[in-house]
Amino acid sequence: MKPLGPGRVEQIALLAAHCDDIAIGAGGTLLTLARANPGLTVHALVLTGSGSEREVEEKAALAAFLPGADVHLTVTDIPDGRSPGYWAEAKDTLAAFRRTCEPDIVFAPQRHDAHQDHRQLASLAPSEFRDHSILGYEILKWESDLPTPTFYHPLSATVAQEKVDLLHASYPSQVDKDWFDADAFLGLSRVRGVQCKSRYAEAFVVEKTVIDFVGV
């Protein structure tokens, strides 16, 4: 497919409920973005995991998935699985995070994710990032909640495999989960690749975006 290109990307924001969500949903895209845009600035917010081994994993993972980028990671201590009960804290945290950055693209969970923590953050993101294109990533899980995406980022076989290898190397606390394996990650990437005439791809649900035929 002939792609629509965003031009040079200088800054992105990454939003996640949990450590590992960003890399699972958009790891191949991050690898590609960082390499294609030297000096990329990345502002990342993860709502759960502060002070735990998962925060340590996430910091190292983002460094690996964003080679050469200037990564600013904030991890807060909202309880995993309980985010809807901490709505005000999540809203205030996201609002404060918003004031620290002016991204070209925002990556966030997608609105119809079955996990309540993901879904809450997806619903909060557009009210804070009102002037930004938001791409909702997908996360394969036990619930049958995969979206029907219409926005694809093709990945080479090399990058798709690199993503899988980095996920395993970066998140030792998660490798025992029954959904955390190469077949699951590559399988979904292959499905999304078929849908956009590529070997592999990551797919996104566009919250909202605009197109500019003049000023790019």
Residues that bind Zn ion (CB under 5 A): 17-18, 21
Residue 87 or residue 158: which is nearer to Zn ion going by CB? 87
Q: What distance lies between CA 77 and its chain's CA centroid? A: 19
Burial tier of 97 (Cβ tally within 10 Å: 0-12, 13-18, 19+): buried
Residue 18 or residue 163: which is nearer to Zn ion going by CB? 18
Q: Whose CB is nearest to Zn ion? A: 18
Angle subtended at Cα 71 by Cα 150 and Cα 33, rounded to the nearest 5 degrees: 35
The nearest distance, CB 60 to Zn ion, in angstroms, is: 18
The nearest distance, CB 48 to Zn ion, in angstroms, is: 8
Q: Where are the alpha helices (DSSP H) in 70-204?
A: 87-98, 116-128, 157-170, 182-195
Dist CA 167 CA 142 (whole Å): 18
The nearest distance, CB 24 to Zn ion, in angstroms, is: 8
Dist CA 79 CA 97 (whole Å): 18
Residue 17 or residue 134: which is nearer to Zn ion going by CB? 17
Residue 124 or residue 196: which is nearer to Zn ion going by CB? 124
The nearest distance, CB 147 to Zn ion, in angstroms, is: 15
